[in-house]
Structure 1
Amino acid sequence: MSQSSRVTDSAAAEPRPSQEAPLLRIEHLSIDLPGQDGPVRVVDDVSFTVAAGRTTGLIGESGSGKTMTATAVIGLLPPGAAVSGRMLWQGEDLVTMPEQDRRRLRGRGIAMIFQDPQAALDPTQTIGRQVGEILRRGGMPAKEVRRTVIDLLDRVGIPDPETRHAQFPHQYSGGLRQRAMVATALAGSPRLILADEPTTALDVTVQARILALLRRIRDEEGTAMLLVSHDLRVMAHVADEVVVMYAGRICEIGSGHEVFNSPAHPYTRALVVSVPAVRSKTAIAEPLPGSPASPAERPSGCPFHPRCAKAQDRCGSEVPKMRQIAAGRQVACHFPEET
């Protein structure tokens, strides 16, 4: 790629080495949801890993299956969802794990930061009570819960935590509510945090603060993160590894540095060049042509081929298999870009 199309953000400039085996290994995960004409496969044969102390980003347009993948990990899929494949959490398969064991795992092993904190927080309970819920369930004495909650609110940057812990969600700004959600996720000292579009609807300044907070948690706590976003600028700031999804399937996996600087799949490249801030301050946006494919009406062959300028006859008839093109680098494309 040309120099002008390289990522300029320093956080994505160099990949950080992974030192530990994966906490989470997803193997051939597929999810079907009920539809008017039968089951609809919204996630199709997805495989990737999340390592301790690392941030793995799931990125793609709306309907790509990224949020559905994350909610499958924590076991909060819609009623009627059918799951196949494996999700290995430290050797245990979350797909077959009994529900009572999944409930015990939520909050302490795996926690989630939801996209809309206003909807996720209970308006009738104080922030302090909601942040401390998992601590009370664990049998912590009330005085210690209060001290711990205040400390958590202080750690995530909520000012005057001794006063704020007794306030209700409507008394918080959008940015403070999101910080309260982060504090709630941290309360159980989880090893993995799932963050679903954690900066959506926040202004740029607040976004930057939330992203800096997530990076600090990762670095100081050694917490693994699975970050869901459609925003490449967010991923360029935070993600160590990136999983690019389209129409329920993975099309590319690699380090954030490699994926954003040298995309191998035409879809990834189209995403990168459509967001000038990810490339350089002077780059001109190249809009992504067409509309995202619907999982309910997924095209034959490669699902991206109707929008791909490089598509050939093979692309419309044969589903490309995921293959390794370099160490830690995979792509599902018959004609990948040179990397």
Structure 2
Amino acid sequence: MAPAAAGPAPAPGAPLLQVEDLEVVLPAGAGTGTVLDRVSFVVDAGSTTGLIGESGSGKTMSAMSIVGLLPPGAETAGRIAWKSEDLLTAAARRIRQVRGREIGVIFQDPLAALNPIETIGKQVGEILRRGGMPRQQVRARVLELLDRVGIPEPEQRIDVYPHELSGGMRQRVMIATALAGEPQLIIADEPTTALDVTTQARILRLLADLRDREGVAMLLVSHDLRVMAHVADVVVVMYAGRVAERGPAREVLEHPRHPYTRALAHNVPAVSTKSAIAEPLQGAPANPFDRPAGCAFHPRCPMAQDRCRTDVPVLREVEPGRFSACHFAERVES
């Protein structure tokens, strides 16, 4: 018997998680740095929201803020509404209850996240034991979870250690661990990084199947637009700790309304609708601790004008359901 989820899940399509004007300030040497600046997005029940951007864009920081896994000394503002409960003001004990039981987390590096001196069966079963499942029932439930995520011959693998499994199998163990508490939301942080193309496809199919078959909502963090094109319903494009663009995944990826999104799309031939050849993204990502004045993307933007160098663009609705933080969003071509 699985541990009961805390409270009923909203109906499919209803807001499950709402992040509103999230700000995170971290110590930076002698001063401080705002690494997340008024970040807002929603995850609906039974859907997948994708956070995408280059390294340092703030996507992982946004995701980890939800489950209280920020670096020491971080200061936060805004609101993270989990089924109307504000997790930013919740007690640490409550956050620990939510993490694992109501919100599962799949970390980027399963080899680092898994304990090397404990068997995978013991690690997957830890959430079950914490949830009060009788010890004699835990092993059977772990075997069920391992089978559910496609671990072959789970009876033979339940007592192995992480280093005895392939990268793809370790990632499946992480997914089984995330599912153990019967969560309503799974946060997947770069779940296919460092996996070969074939294994990536299998993991993505597994995540999509969990969403479609069991109604588990997902917040997917990735730098790979191909991943988003296969899995996400809504995409939030981040740059230098701010939201650059937000909207339905297919529309955003095929018809971007921000020059940064366009550059990302044209840097991946499989996603670009206009070019069969990848166009390298010029320049280095902006440092959120030392953003340039105006639009943070302007030093790399081929559309930049004087206004972009002085005025920070506001995230605004440019089409129904489409939002862009670009002064000239209507002029961006796919």
Is the TM value for this pair above 0.5? Answer: yes
Secondary structure of 2:138's aligned partner: helix
Aligned length: 322
Does the 8 A contact of 2:265 with 2:272 survive in 1? yes
Equivalent in 240, 243, 247 of residue 240 of structure 2 = 247
Question: Structure 2: how far apart are the matches of 1:207 and 1:281?
Answer: 25
Determine what percentage of the aligned residue pairs are the same residue: 64
CA distance in 2, matches of 1:285, 1:80: 40
Report SS of the residue matched to 1:48: strand
Q: Corresponding residue for 1:166?
A: 159
- The answer to whether the aligner puts 1:135 opposite 2:128 as a matched pair is yes
Q: 3-state DSSP class of the match of 1:68?
A: helix
1:147 aligns with 2:140: yes
Partner residue, 2:4: none
Which of 282, 293, 296 is the matching residue for 1:303? 296
1:281 Cα deviation (Å)? 10
Give the secondary structure class of the aligned counterpart of 1:279.
coil
After TM superposition, the runs of 4+ consecutive aligned structure 1 residues lying more than 4 A away are none
Map 1:178-193 onto structure 2 (within 5 A): 178-193=171-186
Q: What do residues 263-292 of structure 1 show as CA deviations (whole Å, max 9, x unaligned)?
A: 000000000001111126970111111110
Q: Compute the RMSD of aligned alpha carbons.
A: 1.3
- 2:44 is matched with 51
CA distance in 1, matches of 2:321, 2:103: 25
Q: Which amino acid in the other structure matches residue 63 of structure 1?
A: G
TM-fit CA distance, 1:184: 0.1
Greater relative contact order (CA < 8 Å, ≥ 6 in sequence): 1
CA distance in 1, matches of 2:213, 2:298: 43
Q: CA separation in 1, counterparts of 2:96 and 2:285?
A: 35
Q: How does the TM-score come out when normalised to structure 2? A: 0.94
- Please list, as runs of the form range in 1=range in 2, the aligned pairs for 1:24-173 lying within 5 A after superposition: 24-173=17-166
Secondary structure, in 3 states, of the residue corresponding to 2:303? coil
Shift of 1:325: 1.4
The answer to whether the aligner puts 1:273 opposite 2:266 as a matched pair is yes
The answer to whether the 8 A contact 1:56-1:240 is kept is yes
| Cα deviations by residue, 1:66-106 (Å, 9 ceiling, x for unpaired) | 00000000111010011110000011100000111111111
For the 8 Å contact 2:266–2:275, the answer to whether it is kept is no
Displacement of 1:163 in angstroms is 1.2
Report the equivalent of 1:332: 325
Q: Distance in 2 between matches of 1:308 and 1:281?
A: 19
Does structure 1 retain, via aligned residues, the 8 Å contact 2:23–2:39? yes
Structure-2 separation of matches of 1:231 and 1:42:
21
Match of 2:176, SS? helix
1:94 is aligned with what amino acid?
L
